[in-house]
Amino acid sequence: MATEEKSLNFIEQIIEESLATGFPQDQLRFRFPPEPNGYLHIGHAKSICLNFGLGLKYNAPVNLRFDDTNPAKEEQEYVDAIKEDLQWLGFNWAEERYASDYFQELYDWAILLIKKGKAYVDSQSSEDMASQKGTPTQPGVDGPYRNRSIEENLTLFEGMKNGDFPEGSHILRAKIDMSSSNMLMRDPIMYRVLHKEHHRTGNDWCIYPMYDYTHGESDYIEQVSHSICTLEFVMHRELYDWFLDQIYDDTKVRPHQYEFARLNLNYTVMSKRKLLQLVQDNIVAGWDDPRMPTISGLRRRGYTPASIRKFCENIGVAKRENIIDYSLLEFCLRDDLNKKAARVMAVLDPVKVVITNYPEGKEELLDAENNQEDETAGYRKVPFSKEIYIEREDFLEVAPPKYFRLSLGNEVRLKNAYIIKGKSVVKDENGVITEIHVTYDEDSRSGSGSEASQRKVAGTLHWVSIAHAIPAEVRLYDRLFIDEAPDSHKEKSFLDFLNVNSLQLTTAYVEPSLATVKSGDKFQFQRLGYFAVDKDSSSSKLVFNKTVGLKDAWEEKGKKDNNSINNALKDINKYFKVATREERIAIRQAIGETLAGISNYSLLQNSFKKNINNNKASLLFSNFILKYAPLKSSDYDKEDLSKLYLMSLKSESTFVRSRALLNLSNLNYDLEFLNSFKEEVLKLQANPPKSSTVREKEFIEQFLNKL
């Protein structure tokens, strides 16, 4: 039991209070209740770590209970995948249970509620039911079947169970309060008719219980003491307690529901329905595609159980919703792999290097450290020869200032090998470099202790010997979406934000020590990132997945994009100060190039909205976003657009008015939208402001001629 109150999360505090007020510790029991209608994702990992972590902390059993009450969506495949994910994460459950284990008991309790006058069979259509249920501000009204006799309800419910009625013809509802302020209490559905085979009970049942009825009763059967759910179930707690009230025996433990904030991770989606759509539409190659946020996808990509557990520990358990940066998940992974992954050399985009003064036919084995973070990792032998591959991007014929790679006339060190100096290049008919010729310093071998070996040079490059290199397919994975919140935008599909570069294939060359790798093995390709052996790999064809880069490229890109926006805003101010049209055109083109290079939808949208104000520089900037940013006219809210254009047309600056008129004339707007500005433009034409120019008057004519 914890002793430091400040170190406890609020769920642990609740448990401590329960124990302090006399609840027996040996009666603590928890559960993890997934629905087997898809694979688990990183959001479920938070719940898994919380529930099973409580079990470990308090030495209490944790059940794995499958909420299998909807045979239309559930499959044994999902059950098996969930169990595999839990075990991979390092957790073991006390008992494997299923809601379907309790179908008979749940049915018997439903009969009891009917006999008590607290449940009835409703035969309305779903549309009629919805209308009589009311709204959040208007109470519902009793349906026409609410006062059926107990005998009729029992007969109908028995017929539902026996399969006498088609789907949708009848439902069983709890009789609670149609005027309750909590709409979930307005006679919720308990059972519906489904003529579908269940993955465990087959065709034994033609009716299936709803989640709200099943969940609390299942907790009660299993004697779960603390039933922990995510925040969307806060309003369900009243119903959870009502169903328990109908069956509770005070000689048993009564479960209590507590809610915590679910995990929201940027640059991804957490809806099982949307993840299933990605799979069914073949946008990804299955639930375990390494771009998916599923636990199986993360495992295949090369994530470790320890990194996911650490991530869940770092984000903590809170009562308020927040969005976690994907970079934190990647940081936890890098931190773990840095300690564990062996360092090897691989070249992803090779160019041939010939060491002209290295003896023909000579080969040697050089010592290479496996992992400098692990003293026990030892060394391996790496072959070296006259011809090697290096990364194409590691060479420039003419080096700019502060360039620390290979160039003509400059020296670099080859990792674990020698210092080389660029001498000349060979190019094909298209001017593409096919060979780089260098010389090496024979006395500069790493670790030899010679004076030359200790000479400092600007950079160190990784390489592989061509004679010994093994070709391998490398799958370069990146985030699946380019937007921070792909499913949060009105009138936009989350699929609109797919990253077209989320998977790129390349043939790489790797050092021969990787010849015998097996699926799941993890390595750091030096200077490139962390990579894992994919399950598609074989002895005849090695396949590696890029797990994560050595640095957070997305964070760097985010900072760069933010800086670009800020710098463009500064340039806008210059636009109003320069003396000539040529200077303004140059500034506008530079801003346009900057905006065209930003793909972050949310950043562009936020910058657009933020700058709709009475400042002339801000208004011009929002107009430039409309002109140059890679978004469609339909991506912007019509109210925001109207506000911007009306404010722009009333601006004191002819530059702002002119840009607004040009945008209205040249961007793809419908006639109705354009006509909404006709009156304001006619005012400009009739009473030109003092700052008006000949060009602005031409733009007015151009706009009016379009109507």
Q: How far is CA 52 from its chain centroid?
A: 24
CA distances from 232 to 190, 239, 319 (A): 19, 13, 11
Q: Which of 387, 369, 389 is nearest to 379 (CA)?
A: 369
* Cα–Cα distance, 475 to 215 (Å, whole number): 42
- Phi and psi (nearest 5°) for 689? -65, 165
Tell me, what amino acid is at 64?
L
Beta strand spans in 180-239 (E): 189-193, 207-209, 226-230
* Tokens 């009450």 sit on residue: 69
Which among 161, 272, 522, 546 is annotated as catalytic?
272
Contacts of 510 (CB under 8 A, 6+ apart): 344, 345, 346, 347, 464, 469, 470, 472, 525, 542, 544
CA distances from 697 to 125, 584, 692, 707 (A): 62, 19, 7, 16
* Cα–Cα distance, 659 to 653 (Å, whole number): 10
Whether 373 is catalytic: no
CA distances from 477 to 284, 287, 426, 518 (A): 12, 15, 33, 20
Cβ atoms of 258 and 14 within 8 Å: the answer is yes
* Tokens 């760069």 sit on residue: 560
Cβ atoms of 354 and 437 within 8 Å: the answer is yes
Which among 16, 35, 75, 555 is annotated as catalytic?
35
| Structure token pair of residue 273 | 């329905």
Question: What proportions of the chain, in percent to the nearest 5, are helix, strand and coil?
Answer: 40, 20, 40
Strand order in the sheet with 62-66: 30-32, 62-66, 96-98
Tell me, what amino acid is at 321?
E
* Cα–Cα distance, 61 to 52 (Å, whole number): 9
Which among 83, 262, 274, 643 is annotated as catalytic?
262
* Cα–Cα distance, 53 to 47 (Å, whole number): 9
Q: What angle do CA 290, 291, 297 make, to 5 degrees?
A: 40
- The b/e string for 553-577 (b: 16+ C-beta within 10 A; e otherwise) is ebeeebeebeebbeebbebbeebee
Q: Which of 247, 238, 192, 187 is nearest to 217 (CA)?
A: 247
* Residue 531 parent element (H or E): strand 529-533
Contacts of 129 (CB under 8 A, 6+ apart): 122, 143
Whether 35 is catalytic: yes
Tell me the three state secondary structure of residue 125.
coil
Whether 31 is catalytic: no
Beta strand spans in 136-200 (E): 171-174, 189-193
Tell me the three state secondary structure of residue 57.
helix
CA distances from 19 to 1, 2, 34, 81, 399 (A): 10, 12, 27, 35, 69
Contacts of 454 (CB under 8 A, 6+ apart): none
Tell me the three state secondary structure of residue 213.
helix
Question: Which residues are known to be catalytic?
Answer: 35, 262, 272
